[in-house]
Amino acid sequence: MRGRLGGGLFVVLAAVAIVFLVLPIVGIFVDTTPGRVLAQLSNPVVDDAFVVTVKTSLVAQALILLFGTPTAYLLATRRFTGRSLVVTLVELPLVLPPAVAGIGLLAALGQEGLLGSSLHALGVSLPFTQSAVVVAVAYVASPLYIRQALAAFEAVDPRLPAASRTLGAGPTRTFFRVMLPLARGGLIAGLALSFARGLGEFGATIMFAGSLQHVTQTLSLAIYYEFDQSFDATLAMSGVLVVVSALLLLTLRLALSWQRSPSNTSPSLFGLSSSS
Amino acid sequence: MATITLEHVTVPLRAFELELSLAVGSTVALVGPSGAGKSTVLNAIAGLLRPSGGSIRCGEEMWFDAAGGVFLPPERRSVGLVFQDYALFPHLTVRENVEYARRHAADEYLERFGIGHLREARPYGLSGGERQRVALARALARDPAILLLDEPLAALDAHTRVEVRTELQQLLGGLGIPTLLVTHDFEDAAALATEVGVIVDGRLRQYGSPADLVARPADPFVASFTGANVLRGTPSGPGSVRLEDGTVITAAEEGEGAAALAVYPWDITVSTHPPDDSAMNVVAGTITAITELGNRARVTIGPVSAEITAESLRRLGLVTGGHAYAAFKATGTRVVA
């Protein structure tokens, strides 16, 4: 009796929660029609935001891969004093309020900031340029990648790189032929997470890069600024972000099941349903 | 064939310090309980860890010398290391695993180890015996100066163990390179190696041929490790000890103040009546355990275990809880402490 009542109550609460989580997404697609979305493609604000987002995201994620992978690898494979402190510091931007991150970037890289005069001497001025968007995105999104990559490298049986070394492969060959392929699933998952976080970046970008159409106005910023101008444009841009985010989530799930599959051979779509 | 020489190799471990000098020119086994530092020795030779002192040479080539600051990385040492659980690369096929060590020679090694038909298979799905052959083929594909085997039989179930041990025995016999293997099982060591070192808490307790170790165990630990019954008591004349129940056991060896004697199970006879023969030592007591293994049986009477045939077990009608006598000659009894 009691068990059934409790069970029924749980089902109702869960149903409310799920509807609550799905409803806004449904709203975006119900309020807009494909025709209205397509019509917005000629809207220069939407076009510019789209181009700025693609450009800055790609550059930021490439930088995150380039710098984050060796960072995660070293943190996963070396044991040194202060290692956990370094890991904590690397993860800090994750929990930082985005506006604080923006102020921090200004205080560090702005004209009056820590490195401002050095940058100025080099003829570089970051704030309110497209490069500033890249920096803001990289700052808030990279910890997600590094965390996931670190876990992926740590999950590789340490005897495998050891075996590689005794088989005549130096550290570089061991990294590319053993560590990277075995951590691949986790690295892709980390990149998907970091990509999604970067697309949604708002606070740090607006503080550090501003919202200049065609230069620093990304989709997330444009949605906010077009809100009282053209609701259609806002919905169209939101629709695009929903689709891209869903694809990233799918990639994440697929990559994680790939990492976990014992044979490490191919991604399995079935992992998707069993892990959810 | 170069000899691998370890001189005073020192590695600080959690509870003790490993310190070892050893020359590997044939097939040598290091045996000892888990955590004795056996695998550490292999890792030090392979270059996977840097000892704090001593030196490691391969023939004339210095691989490690603490005093001279020499430390060759693993990839520059000519070793073939077969890991416990084999450490095959899960993302590569059998053939790619072997090719990892040496390009273009994989097929030859796969055929030599009878795993040519598995070349496109991935390690996940292979049996323990098959994995070991892949690991051996991979380790030997580089033509190493020394083969290192870490617990080569521990990952196998009892059923395939004996079979793989025989295979390994034949392989090692025909290999012609120095081999160092570590195991916690004296029987495996005796079957595979010509020389055996017993290592406990990072120190070599005794080194010699398996027959030497059985004939003259240096201390109670080596005696019991090689399978002997160790009988402890109070000294009672030259080569004699008095057990707790008053029984006096004598060894045909001089040994003033002996406190422990060793006798192997296969040197003990069992009877249901007090024996009246040339055996000097008789232990009387209740049978506390009978373990049958194939056509043999282990019978535990008081402090000793005797190995008899299953046929004798039935002929004498021995049962757990029954009274019996274990007899053994003084000439088959050794003073170990």
- DSSP per-residue codes, A178-208: IIHHHHHHHHHHHHHHHHHHHHT--HHHHHH
Q: Are residues B266 and B217 in the same domain?
A: no
Integer-rounded Cα Rg, in Å, for chain A is 22
Average pLDDT, stretch A129-155?
96
B213 shares a domain with B270 = no
In a domain, B240, yes or no: no
Residue that terminates a domain, selected from B189, B221, B253: B221
B74, B80, B83 member nearest A159 (Cβ)? B83
Can you give the pLDDT at residue A267?
41
Find residue B55's DSSP bridge partners.
Answer: B7, B65
- Going by the DSSP 8-state scheme, the letter that residue A176 receives in this structure is I
Amino acid at B127: S
Residue A91, min C-alpha distance to chain B (Å):
30
C-alpha angle with apex B243: B237 to B249, nearest 5 degrees? 55
Q: Is the pLDDT of residue A112 over 60?
A: yes
Q: Helices (DSSP H) in A81-218: which residue ranges?
A: 83-95, 98-109, 116-121, 130-154, 159-166, 171-174, 180-199, 203-208
Name the minimum distance, in Å, from the CA of A171 to any CA of chain B. Answer: 9
A81 shares contact with chain B (CB less than 8 Å): no
Same domain, B68 and B151: yes
Whether residues B90 and A169 touch (CB distance < 8 A) is answered with no
Domain membership of residue B149 as a residue range: 4-78+144-221
B50 to chain A, minimum CA–CA distance in Å? 13
Largest Cα–Cα separation, chain A: 77
The answer on B158 and B67 residing in a single domain is yes
Q: Does A266 touch chain B (CB under 8 A)?
A: no
pTM: 0.82
Length, in residues, of chain A? 276
Asked, for residue B103, whether it belongs to a domain, the answer is no
Residue B237 within a domain: no
Distances (CA, A) of B12 to B41, B46, B50: 12, 17, 10
* DSSP code, position A237: H
Give the residues across from B333 on adjacent strands: B263
Residues of B in contact with A168 (CB under 8 A): 75, 101-102, 142
Q: Cβ distance B258 to B306 under 8 Å?
A: no
Q: Give B82 to chain A, closest Cα distance, Å.
A: 8
Give the tokens for residue B192. 């595979």
Residue A13's pLDDT is what? 95
| CA count, 13 A, side-chain hemisphere, A2 | 0
B126 secondary structure, DSSP code: B
Give the Cα separation of A227 and A213 in Å (integer): 14
Q: Tell me: pLDDT of A179 over 60.
A: yes
Beta carbon pairs, A and B, within 8 Å: 62
> Of all helices (H) and strands (E), which one includes residue A256?
helix A231-260
Alpha-carbon gap, residue B62 to B4, rounded angstroms? 10
Q: Is the pLDDT of residue A262 over 50?
A: no
Q: Is pLDDT above 60 for A275?
A: no
Whether residue B84 is contained in a domain is answered as: no
Higher pLDDT, A61 or A119: A61
For residues B149 and B295, state if they share a domain: no
Last residue of a domain, one of B195, B221, B247: B221
Q: Tell me if B170 is assigned to some domain.
A: yes
pLDDT at residue A270 in the model: 37
Q: Are residues B200 and B295 in the same domain?
A: no
Residue A166: name the closest of B131, B64, B178, B82 by CA: B82
Of A218 and A268, the one with more pLDDT = A218
Cβ contact B330:B281 at 8 Å: yes
Q: Say if residue B43 is in the same domain as residue B151.
A: yes
Q: Check if the beta carbon of residue B222 is closer than 8 Å to that of residue B198.
A: yes
Cβ neighbours of B140 (radius 10 Å): 21
d(CA B220, CA A257): 53
Quote ipTM for the complex.
Answer: 0.84
Is the separation of the CB atoms in A188 and A148 below 8 Å? no
Same domain, B148 and B58: yes
**Domain-located, residue B39:** yes
- Total residues belonging to chain B: 337
* Residue that finishes a domain, picked among B163, B193, B221: B221
Q: Is the pLDDT of residue A141 over 80?
A: yes
Name the stretches of chain B with pLDDT < 50. Answer: none
Burial (0-12, 13-18, 19+ Cβ within 10 Å), B291: exposed
pLDDT at position A2: 53
Which H or E element spans position B8?
strand B4-12
| Model pLDDT, residue B61 | 94
On whether both B64 and B152 belong to a single domain, the answer is yes
In a domain, B132, yes or no: no
- Looking at the fold, whether B63 and B209 belong to one and the same domain comes out as yes
Torsion of Cα atoms, A77 then B54 then B221 then B148, to 10°: 60
> Would you say B100 and A167 are in contact if contact means Cβ atoms under 8 Å apart?
yes
**Distance in Å, alpha carbon of B77 to nearest chain A alpha carbon:** 8
Q: What are phi and psi of B206, to 5 degrees?
A: -155, 150
Query: Rounded CA gap, A241 and A53, in Å?
Result: 11
| B137 domain-assigned | no
- Average pLDDT over all residues of chain A: 88
pLDDT of residue A3: 55
From CA A10, how far away is CA A18, in angstroms rounded?
12
Contact B142 A264 (CB under 8 A): no
Q: Are residues B200 and B276 in the same domain?
A: no
Q: Show the CA angle centred on residue B4, arms to residues B98 and B100, nearest 5°.
A: 10
For residue B306, the domain's CATH number is: 2.40.50.100
Band the pLDDT of A235: cuts 50, 70, 90: confident
Interatomic CA distance for residues A128 and A110, integer angstroms:
10
Interface touch A157/B80, C-beta < 8 Å: no
**Residue A264: pLDDT band with limits 50, 70, 90:** very low
pLDDT at A113: 86
Of A162, A165, A182, the CB nearest to B91: A182
Is residue B306 classed as helix, strand or coil in its secondary structure? strand
Contact assignment for B100 to A182 by CB distance below 8 Å: no
Q: Which residues contact B125 (CB under 8 A, 6 or more apart)?
A: A263
The nearest alpha carbon in chain B to A184 belongs to B91
Between A42-46, A108-112, A196-200, B276-280, the lowest mean confidence (pLDDT) is in B276-280
Across the interface, whether the CB atoms of A160 and B89 are under 8 A apart is answered: yes
Considering the domain architecture, whether residues B278 and B203 belong to the same structural domain is answered as no
Give ∠ CA A232-A234-A240 in degrees, rounded to 5. 105
pLDDT digits (tens, 9 = 90+) for A197-211: 999 999 999 999 999
pLDDT in tens, A3-42: 565 678 999 999 999 999 999 989 888 877 777 777 887 8
| Contact flag A168-B75 (C-beta cutoff 8 Å) | yes
- Which among B85, B91, B100 has the least Cβ separation from residue A167? B100
Rounded Cα distance, B294 and B30, in Å: 29
Provide the strand spans (E) within B192-303.
195-200, 203-208, 229-232, 234-235, 240-242, 248-250, 260-263, 269-271, 281-293, 296-301
User: In this complex, is the C-beta atom of B124 within 8 Å of any C-beta atom belonging to chain A?
Assistant: yes
CB A269 within 8 A of CB A251: no
Please give the tally of structural domains in chain B: 2
> Considering CB atoms only, which of A166, A169, A264 is closest to B91?
A264
Cα gap B230→A248, rounded to integer Å? 67
Q: Burial level of B85, CB count in 10 A (0-12/13-18/19+)? A: middle
* pLDDT the model gives residue A4: 60
Which of A157, A166, A174, A265 is best to mutate for the B interface (most B CBs within 10 A)?
A166
* CATH, residue B56: 3.40.50.300
